Each structure stands twice: as C-alpha cells, then as structure tokens.
Amino acid sequence: MSAAQPEEVPVIAVEGLSVRYGRTPALEDVSLSVPRGSIYALLGRNGAGKSSLVRCVLGQQKPTRGRARLFGEDAWSSRRRAMTRVGVVPEEPDAPPEMTARDLAAFCRRLYPVWDAASVDARLHRFGVPQDVPFARLSKGQKGAVMLALCLAPRPDVLVLDDPTLGLDVVARRALYDELITDLADRGVTVLVTTHDLSGIEGLASRVAMLRGSRLVLDEEQEDLKTRFRRLRPSSVGRAHEPGAWAPFDTVTIRHRDWGDEAVVSNFDDARLEAFRATRGLSDVEVGSLSLEEIFLAVVGEAEATS
C-alpha cells in the first residue's frame, strides 16, 4: 500500500481522546477528523467538553489518554511549530488591558513572517472597533473582533473559533459569517468552530459533530445528517411507545400531541417510509425536514440542551 499523500492527511485528527479533571470526565474516548478546507462545527451544550477538545488540538493541554494531531503531528509536542500556521479566537478574548488595537497589531506583526496589515485595518473598521481605545475599555464583541483581525493577519492555514459570535450584535455576527468564514473556506483555509449559534452556522458548516455528556455522539457531513433525520407525523400509529410501533425507523424522540403522535427518526429513507406505511396500514404520513438546531435538540435532548 502506498504512503498517504499530504492532502489525504486530516488537518486536525483526534484519536481516542480522553480528558479528566480529577475524577470528573470532560471527554471520553473521542475520535474525529477535520478534513482540509472544511468548515467543521463542533456542537454541544456548556460542559460537554468542547473547550477541552480545542485546547488539546491546539497543544495547550495534554490529554489524559489518546492523542490530538495537528497537520499530522502530535499537537502537544509540535505546538510551537504548528501555531505559526494557526489562528485562534478564544471564547474569552484576552490581551494586556492598556494596549490598544493598534498597539496589539504592531506587537503581533513582529512575531510572524507574513502579516497583512491592511486586512487588520479593514476588519476593525467593518466591526466598528476604535483602534486607539485601550483593550480593557472595549466591549466583549469588540474584543473578539480584535482577536479575529489579529489571528487572520498572518494568513493561517487553520482557523479555530471558540464561540466567536458570543457578544456580537446581529450586524457583526452576520459580517463574521458572510465576509470572513465563507471567504476563508473559498481560499482553502480549514475552520474549526464551536458555537451556540446553530442558525448562523447551519448554512456554512460542511461537517458537524455533536458532544453529549463528554462523548461524541455524532460526526458527519451536514448534508447527510439532514437527509437521514426527519420528523414523521402519521395519521395514526396506535400506541406509539409499544415496541416496534415505529419500525423500521430508529426513533430519537417520540411526542404525543393533541392531534396525534410525532417522531424524529434518524434513519429515514423512502424504502423505510413505504415499509412503515404498509406495516401500519397508513395512507397519510407527513414527513418534515429538520433544522440543525432541531436535530441538535433531538440528539442532545431538549432538557440537556437548554441553558
């Protein structure tokens, strides 16, 4: 068998990753890979392990077990080399409080062989960030915009965004998605983004992963995900919770409504729909598509997903 070519190696790969804080598990045996040039959305409620996974990928935290790889190398041991090719916007933007955006740009410019100063000015202007105001006096959204402008200036191969829209208003959030992430994807930059803004990322993410209770429960192309998840509303199904009532479907959730029952299924296709109709003697089954947020709520559980 021939050796793998560079383009076949995932930009980010996680293999059997576990992270514990004392006896508390943050991640349990998580494996995933982020293809080159993709926009990969990592979803989960607060405490599901998203930030722990990101820190391991960036070489900022050594996992309890397993390994995180970045550009095909161990992220922990190669972090000094790798980080020259990675841009990061943390969930909590941080910088010396007395430095202005202009000061920060001048400082960071000396650290990289490539620096696009014009893009920094343009992005700060677009997000309405004053360049002569101390960092401590900026709003949280403005601080995030400064971090984003600085991390993109070296033209990174990978961009890691940890809940980047937190604190941004509607206009700034749309600018982030429309003008930045899509532009980066067009240039082949790989984007790993954790977010609670499911409606915003839905039209952009090529692949979606979901964490629940420290474990990875879903990882696939968003197009495939939305094809196999459907909401079914039959005209009648009898006792919906009886074993086999919804066969041949795999039900994720079942609800009783005043007008009847409905289920979210995770293995929908036309053949199963016809078999379901024939088995239950149904002539009318309403089939509805689901948004990414609705799939997330069904998979993670509505009680868990609310925060």
Residue 164 has pLDDT above 60, yes or no: yes
211-240 in b/e form (b: 16+ CB < 10 A) is bbebebebbeebeebbeebbbbbbeebeeb
140-152 vs 117-126: helix axis angle to the nearest 10? Answer: 160
Rounded mean pLDDT of 220-243? 83
Contact 61, 219 (CB under 8 A): no
- The values of phi and psi at residue 148, to 5°, are -65, -45
Beta bridge partners of 190: 158
What percentage of residues in the chain have a pLDDT greater than 90? 62
pLDDT given at position 240:
53
pLDDT given at position 298:
94
Query: What is the pTM (predicted TM-score) of this model?
Result: 0.88
* d(C-alpha 305, C-alpha 241), whole Å: 23
Residue 213 identity (one-letter amino acid): G
- Element containing residue 89 per DSSP (H, E): strand 86-89
Q: What is the mean pLDDT of the chain?
A: 88
Specify the DSSP class assigned to residue 232.
E
pLDDT given at position 261:
84
Express each pLDDT in 5-21 by its tens digit: 445 789 999 999 999 99
Give the Cβ contact number of residue 9 at 10 Å: 15
Rounded mean pLDDT of 210-219? 95
pLDDT given at position 48:
92
Contact 73, 11 (CB under 8 A): no
* d(C-alpha 161, C-alpha 88), whole Å: 6
Kindly report which listed range (2-6, 80-84, 202-206, 220-224) carries the lowest average pLDDT score.
2-6
Rounded mean pLDDT of 87-110? 93
The candidate with the shortest Cα–Cα distance to 190, out of 64, 79, 57, is 57
Contact 159, 192 (CB under 8 A): yes
At residue 197, the 3 state secondary structure works out as: coil
